[in-house]
Chain A
Amino acid sequence: MMSIIKYFKDIYLGVKSLLTGMRVTGHYFTHPKEIITQQYPENRDVLEMFDRFRGEVVLLHDENNEHRCTGCSACEVACPNGTIEILSKWEINEEGKRKKAIDQFVYHLQMCTFCNLCIKSCPTDAIVMGKDFEHAVFDRSELTKILNKPGSKLMPGIK
């Protein structure tokens, strides 16, 4: 007797679980707006990458062409494959003191693995990961970038 009950219970539960699955896929089928595929080259103008996407290292500049990099070389040390080179220079500040500042923030994109260690190690949050990912160029030397803009200065108050 128990086996007969079990037989019909199996059929009932089996059909029920199949219908549950069909309800889920049926929902997707009737809601084409929920499609998550993005048509890449067409949507270039409106394309927005995700928050945690790592495209390239950027040195942030504000509207006065000032950045927050003190040239401490923490990122250069943190980088596992020598992607970042900090070329520093000595500057005289307002108080007449000699101070270290960056001359060139050299970033070798071709060697970068986007591991995020430089961003984590930066004490002044000067660099972040950018969202741009279209890095293809015809000449390898174009991948070596100088991140500080010409004539940029250290933001006052950053030590």
Chain B
Amino acid sequence: MEFSIYDFSTLTNSIHEGLSNSFSPTWVMIIEMSLVGLAFLGLFAVLGVTLVYAERKVSAVIQQRMGPMRVGKWGLLQTIADVIKLVLKEPLMNRQADKLLFGIAPFIIIIASFLAVAAVPFAKGLHALDFDIGILYVSAVSSIGVIGILLAGWSSNNKYSLIGAMRSGAQIVSYELSVGLSLLTIVVLSGSLQFSEIIESQANGWWIFKGHIPAFIAFVVFLIAGTAETNRGPFDLAEAESELTAGFHTEYSGIKFAFFFLAEFANMFIICAIGATVFLGGWMPLHIGDLAGFNAIMDFIPPIVWFGMKVTFLIFLMMWFRWTFPRLRIDQLLKLEWKYLLPINLVNILLMAFIGLMGWHF
């Protein structure tokens, strides 16, 4: 089996050929789908554990604390212990809860995350679904998650859960617009909704540099709206602890609560991965125009490392936001979207269209 860290398509192609030699095409498809599903399950498990640990450490250092230090060296095993605790806990259910909806709500949320992560390009050739409408697909499936949140709040038979869910609904529906429009600003330049083509179009420089000021404004708007989309602080008023206990997942415990928690961190990863792909070139190394020597040095770092570094940077930015800014009130939240982000975004996309039309971008 051939293997190259720079191009995963040789690996995936050899797996495909190996399977095709011994199975019928239907079985090949089923086996490949299960392999991809297993890979994403593994990815989510690793993501959940590492991101929770990272979140706790980053928040601790920002607040001049140390964070988890006891379980394992520097508390490295803390999240694993937490996972074991969550799995062993009893899944409680409210007596008056809507049993069916209560049961399926966590699955809807986690399925939305799985659907969205399928379109994320991790490296060259490491890309489960390369739709020609990738951006549209991601923004469509990531908004399925809000149904899970609304169902969880509704079926819990708890007023705090319902308020949290309704807030979350209003928030996600509003900020979906800004996320979509800020991504469209780059689509104006790249001329394609397909992730692989967007990445290829950044071979001579990332869009955030090539697109001048409008691209930067779109990036900032995307970061703000993306943070809101994942229900993270300072936009975490769906689960505002001090006023709504835990919001829509107040009544959940055990493994179902773990699903909500996992989906939150997985969504953070997905938003950061999409942002890194569209604005920062995805797995494309840092290339400056046609400086062949510099580009060759940058090419030496494998694409998957580039992708990891960019996503880590964006995730760190979101954590930095969360532990710096105070939580918004619901009216401030909607005002920020409808009176500031959306108008700025609309003007920005117009500006970008003009720049694209005149060919002023690099």
A residues sitting closer than 8 Å to B (CB atoms) are 11, 18, 21-22, 24-26, 28-29, 32, 34-37, 39
A36 to B64, CA, bound (A): 6
Partner of B61, one of A11, A18, A21, A28: A28
* Chain A residues closer than 8 Å to B69, beta-carbon distance: 39
Contact A21 B325 (CB under 8 A): yes
| Interface status of B323 (Cβ within 8 A of chain A) | yes
Partner of B65, one of A21, A24, A37: A37
Contact B58 A29 (CB under 8 A): yes
Minimum CB–CB distance from B62 to chain A (whole Å) comes to: 5
Partner of B325, one of A18, A26, A37: A18
Nearest residue, chain B, Cβ from A18: B325
Nearest residue, chain B, Cβ from A36: B64
Minimum CB–CB distance from A41 to chain B (whole Å) comes to: 10
Partner of B323, one of A25, A36, A37, A39: A25
A29 to B62, CA, bound (A): 5
* Chain A residues closer than 8 Å to B321, beta-carbon distance: 22
Minimum CB–CB distance from A10 to chain B (whole Å) comes to: 8
A21 to B321, CA, bound (A): 9
* Chain A residues closer than 8 Å to B340, beta-carbon distance: 11
Mask: chain B, 123-155; 1 = CB below 8 Å from A; 0 = not: 000000000000000000000000000000000
On whether A22 and B65 interact (CB within 8 A), knowing A11-B340, A29-B58, the answer reads: no
B residues sitting closer than 8 Å to A (CB atoms) are 58, 61-66, 69, 320-321, 323-325, 340, 344
Contact B320 A37 (CB under 8 A): no
Contact A28 B64 (CB under 8 A): yes
Contact B64 A35 (CB under 8 A): yes
Which 5 pairs across A and B sit closest by C-beta, in order of nearness? A25-B324, A37-B66, A25-B62, A21-B324, A37-B65
Minimum CB–CB distance from B217 to chain A (whole Å) comes to: 11
- For this complex, 17 residue pairs linking A to B, each with C-beta atoms less than 8 Å apart, are A11-B344, A18-B324, A18-B325, A21-B324, A21-B325, A22-B324, A25-B62, A25-B323, A25-B324, A28-B61, A29-B58, A29-B62, A35-B61, A35-B65, A36-B65, A37-B65, A39-B69
On whether A32 and B61 interact (CB within 8 A), knowing A26-B320, A39-B69, the answer reads: yes
Partner of A29, one of B61, B325, B344: B61
Interface of A is mostly: helix
Nearest residue, chain A, Cβ from B316: A29
Seed contacts A29-B58, A35-B64; 9 additional CB < 8 Å A-B pairs: A21-B324, A22-B320, A25-B320, A28-B63, A29-B61, A32-B61, A35-B66, A37-B64, A39-B69
Minimum CB–CB distance from A88 to chain B (whole Å) comes to: 50
On whether A29 and B66 interact (CB within 8 A), knowing A11-B340, A18-B325, A21-B325, the answer reads: no
Minimum CB–CB distance from A6 to chain B (whole Å) comes to: 12
A103 to B62, CA, bound (A): 55
Nearest residue, chain B, Cβ from A10: B340
Minimum CB–CB distance from B336 to chain A (whole Å) comes to: 9
A28 to B323, CA, bound (A): 11
* Chain A residues closer than 8 Å to B320, beta-carbon distance: 22, 25-26, 29
A25 to B62, CA, bound (A): 5
Minimum CB–CB distance from B6 to chain A (whole Å) comes to: 33
A8 to B62, CA, bound (A): 31
A113 to B64, CA, bound (A): 31
Minimum CB–CB distance from A120 to chain B (whole Å) comes to: 34
Nearest residue, chain B, Cβ from A19: B324
Minimum CB–CB distance from B349 to chain A (whole Å) comes to: 17
Name the residue among B320, B321, B323, B324 with the largest chain A CB count within 10 angstroms. B324
A29 to B316, CA, bound (A): 11
A34 to B323, CA, bound (A): 17
A37 to B69, CA, bound (A): 11
A32 to B61, CA, bound (A): 6
* Chain B residues closer than 8 Å to A11, beta-carbon distance: 340, 344
Nearest residue, chain B, Cβ from A42: B69
A35 to B57, CA, bound (A): 12
